[in-house]
Amino acid sequence: MKGLEVLAFALNQFANLTEDDFNLSTSFWHAKEYKKGEYFNRQKNICRYLGFINTGAFRSYVIDQKTAEEKNVFLYSKNQFVIPFKSFVNQEPCDYHTQAMTDASIFYININDLLSLYNQSQKWERFGRLMAEMAFNVTIERMESFLFKTPEERYLDLIKNHPDIFNSVPLYHISSYLGIQGPSLSRIRKRISEK
C-alpha cells in the first residue's frame, strides 16, 4: 500500500471509516516531508494540523527552566497520529515542542477541514470522538505509568507501543521519555535481553 491508501486503511481500522467516508476527506489531506530536527509545532504556537505518520518518529518535549534539559513527554511513530491534542482542540498555544526525531513523512489535515468533515458526516464526528478518547487515554496512561510502573515496565510498554523506535532514535531520547538516566536504560535492556 502506498500513500493515501495506508492512511485510508489506518482510518478504517481506527474509526471504521469506509471508502466513501474517506473519499469525503481526500482533498483535505496534504503530504509533507520533515528533516530530522524540524518542528511539527513549536511551544507557544497554536497547532492547526493533525498529522498521520507514514515514516519516521516525532517527540513532544519541554525544556526544564532550571536545568535547560529537554524532557520528552510523548513519542509518536509510524502509523500513528502526531498531534499536540490540547492545543489543536482548544486552538490555544501549545505547552511543548513537537519535533521530528528522524527524517519523516506525514499526511496532515487542517483543523477547519476536519471540523467541516465533522459537520458532513457522523462517521467523521465519531472519528473526532475516538481521537479525543485516545488522547485522553494516552495522557492518563503516561501519567499513571510514572505513578504505578517501574522503569522496566515503562520500557516494555514503549516496545509494545513503538516497536520500531529503537532502530532509529538515539537512546538518550528513550531514556528521557522513560524518566531515567542512560546507564539505567542500559541495565534494563541487558536484563531483558538475558531473560
pTM attached to this predicted model? 0.92
Contacts of 107 (CB under 8 A, 6+ apart): 3, 4, 7, 29, 30, 31, 32, 51, 52, 54
Rounded distance, CA 141 to CA 144, Å? Answer: 5
Contacts of 90 (CB under 8 A, 6+ apart): none
CATH for 3-146? 2.60.120.10
DSSP character for 34?
A: E
What's the one-letter identity of residue 151?
Answer: P
Q: Please state, for a pLDDT cut of 70, what percent of the chain lies above it.
A: 99
Determine the average pLDDT of the residues in 174-193.
89
pLDDT digits over 67-82, tens only?
Answer: 989 999 999 999 999 9
Instruction: Count helices and strands (H / E) in the chain.
Output: 8, 8
